[in-house]
Structure 1
Amino acid sequence: MNSLDLSINPSLARQILTGFIKSEITRAGFARAVVGLSGGLDSALSCALAAEALGPENVLAVRMPYQASSRDSLEHAQLLVDQLKVQSETIEITDMVEPLIRRDPDMSKIRQGNILARARMIVLYDRTEPFQGLAVGTSNKTEILLGYSTLWGDMACAINPIGDLYKTQVRQLAQAMDIPAPIVDKPPSADLWAGQTDEGELGFTYAEVDKLLYLLVDQRCLPEECVEAGFDKAFVEKVVARIRRYQF
């Protein structure tokens, strides 16, 4: 298990993904991109790739905070905007979502998080029209396989350049592209509620699950083969169940 190496060639990945962004956006008749910038690692990498592919003047980074959003998220997003020199906007979504959230005092954190994600995508797609750009996605392969994303929310996009990179590979490429250290080093979080972290909510680390997903998906290993390779049986069963549940 520990011998599995998910290292990528950052230079080659960078070349392929920037080429993909430019060719797909150009093929659709556009020259610009709009990215939802959360202050986290995935959106930072997508934004950096788009800026390199299209030129920073042709990228609009949209920050969409909610009243419970971490102040660090806004500050980290601004770090990236300043570094890349992309265009940017900040649009607060609290007034959009609060009337719906207040209707149900017992609303779960998951439901609230999905509302926030879908509200943000409404804003993002609205901004594509005046900016005349395509929405660029920010979901990595790990999140997609585990269903750790929101349909018609953060999964909605015209193109998704990082959709075939596992989370640990996103970090590798982000480091190679000099994404600011506070973004790269902080615990991954969708910032959907105060104190929320991806790994805390999932119950395992990205470093662990990426290796298992690589065996299950890329190498097409059977669950029992993954157990033989050293993965805990309960962990394998939990991950397989998530993959099957969100395969539709």
Structure 2
Amino acid sequence: MVNTEIARRLQINEKLTAEVLTAFIREEVEKAGFQKVVFGLSGGIDSALVAYLAVRALGSERCHAVMMPYTTSNPKSLSDAQAVVDDLGLQALVVPISAPVDAFFAAMDERLGVPATPLRRGNRMARERMSTLFDLSAHFSALVLGTSNKTELLLGYGTQFGDLASALNPIGDLYKSQVRQLSRYLGVPQSILEKPPSADLWQDQTDEKELGFTYEFADEVLYQLVDLRCSVDDLIRQGYDAATLQAIVRRVERNQYKRKPPIIAKLSSRTVGVDFRYLRDWGQ
């Protein structure tokens, strides 16, 4: 079902949102003592939007895009990422991750006696990509920008210390439908706007096929559950399928650990993250 009122309320003021997010990037990067950013550019809409925001905030000369294909990656992903690089005049690197990922599993499969599952391989790819970004972060003296949207963060649809890791995330409070809206406004290439969302971890993989529901549906439900604080019973009374609602709620609840920093056992009077807490730019 499509709730037209909720769809209307999910609409954003594109101009204001773009201004807020570009100011966020500029101010947070410079407050932390940096001048540059680095980010993965997958050919998907989320990383493309981050690229357009980063260039608006800092200029193309201060933004480093990294494309990290694997053997099974769709060639269209690389060409779409290149279209963003060309449009924005980005400084870009192509760093294939096939060799390190395959070397790891060649050794690990032999030790464990079983081949790695697609989940393990996908997680390794995501972490290899983020490891590459943080290495280049040190090389370029640049902060790593995250590219996970609010829908993905709530559903836990991402890899801990992989694509969910970053120093700053400018789009983490935008639902997927809002990412699409802002991307159109900022001029993200049409080929990216129209393609099915995919982490591109294996052939024919799409986000919505894995999740079992569309992002449009997830946004509609999550906005009501999270932002409007509606209950599941409220949504059932509106006509939403109870089983699908419960599946979404379970994902949000069981993936809370991915949205939190590591838990530290408290022993002293002042514990990091508990009662020793300061702003991220404290001491700068």
Tell me the TM-score range normalised by the shorter chain: over 0.9
* One-letter code aligned to 2:137: T
Match of 1:179 among 179, 188, 201: 188
Mapping 1:1-248, distance limit 5 Å = 1-4=3-6, 5=8, 6-102=10-106, 103-104=108-109, 105-248=114-257
* Residue identity (%): 48
Which SS does the other structure have where 1:3 is aligned? Answer: helix
Cα deviation, residue 43, structure 1: 0.4
Gaps of 5+ in 1: none
State the number of aligned residues: 248
- 1 CA distance for matches of 2:4 and 2:17? 24
Cα deviation, residue 132, structure 1: 1.3
- 2 CA distance for matches of 1:97 and 1:167? 29
Task: Describe the superposition over 1:142-166 as per-residue Cα deviations: whole angstroms up to 9, x where unpaired.
Answer: 0000000000000110000000000
TM-score after normalising by structure 2: 0.86
Task: Describe the superposition over 1:94-133 as per-residue Cα deviations: whole angstroms up to 9, x where unpaired.
Answer: 1111022233353211111100000001101111112111
- 2 CA distance for matches of 1:237 and 1:198? 19
Over the aligned positions, Cα root-mean-square deviation in angstroms equals 0.9
Gaps of 5+ in 2: 258-284
* One-letter code aligned to 2:63: V
- 2 CA distance for matches of 1:101 and 1:204? 31
- 2 CA distance for matches of 1:129 and 1:94? 22
- 2 CA distance for matches of 1:234 and 1:111? 28
Q: Which runs of 4+ in 1 moved over 6 A?
A: none
Mean CA deviation greater in 92-101 or 35-44: 92-101
Structure of larger gyration radius: 2
